[in-house]
Amino acid sequence: MLFDHLHLLPRGALSSRLIPAIIATMVLLLTLGAAGAVAIDVSLSSFQAELSGRYTVELPATEIGGIDEEKIAEVVDLLAETQGVIAAEVVPAPTIERLLQPWLGGQAAMADLPLPVLIDIVATPGTALDTQGLATRIETIVKGARVEAAVESMDEIASLAEVIELAAYAIVALVAACLAAVIVFATRSGLAAHFGIIEIVHQIGAREAAIAREFERHFFLLGLVGGAIGVGLAGLIVFGLAQFAGSLDSPFLPSLNDLGAALVPLGAIPVAVAVLTTVTAGVTVGRSLRRLT
């Protein structure tokens, strides 16, 4: 059976303290990378879902000469009568100024700038408005009006987020490969340190599989312990970051419930790491023993 073993290795062999520490450190990095990728995916999906069915009408200030309340009211009435539109609300000027402030500076810098009028539209769920046709109708009231779906403004951000997500998963794969390399090195070191015992046992009839199981059992336990420690530490870090992010009240950040549900599968990482270390050790021992025959 898998964990029937021959007690070939003395107690404390194969750096039983050092290897779990190395595994825990690498699993910590691996888990943080995976959690980061998941968080980006959940954030993007959540924000896109929130923006779905939202549209913005922009009335250029050059055409309305500051603020022409009558024309704005006409546009709002036109939107309210449009099929598929649930609500149309003019965005307050202070809100626009607050949005532009990071790029244009304080209120003094924006005092002489003609700011456009923005109207926020909420459409019926599942309804896609004809932005071009709607803009043409609005232009009969205000020249140069534009209508844009809120989700379209997220295209570049979504592309950037996808690149970052792929990079995070690439880091996860790289850390996993490095972890496998560490196990190969540790297994070969164990074989070299106990080569005399292993060679004698092998020569008197012990099968390669039985010897390999000794190492597999050893590295399974090391991988499981190190993986659990690494995931536990990563969980504490992610929880702290999630609590901090929750206090920011940013629309770009997902709710703690959504993020927590998406991160649940990462709890299986210790088992996956234990399997990886077991298989890597078994394959390494098998190849090394075949060279003796």
**Among all chains, which residue has been given the structure tokens 């880091």?**
171
Other CB atoms within 10 Å distance of the CB of residue 133: 11
Instruction: Name the stretches of the chain with pLDDT < 70.
Output: 1-16, 62-67, 100, 102-113, 151-155, 194, 198-199, 201-206, 208, 249-252, 254-255, 292-293
pTM of the model: 0.70
CA dist 291 and 293 (Å) reads 6
Q: Which neighbouring-strand residues pair with 117?
A: 59
Tens-place pLDDT, residues 175-219? 999 999 988 888 888 777 767 776 676 666 667 677 778 788 888
Query: What pLDDT, in 10s, does the model give residues 245-269?
Result: 777 766 667 667 777 788 888 999 9
What is the CB neighbour count within 10 angstroms for residue 93? 12
Question: Coil, strand or helix: which one is 122?
Answer: strand
Q: List the chain domain ranges.
A: 18-48+156-290, 53-150
Q: Which CATH class is domain 53-150?
A: alpha beta
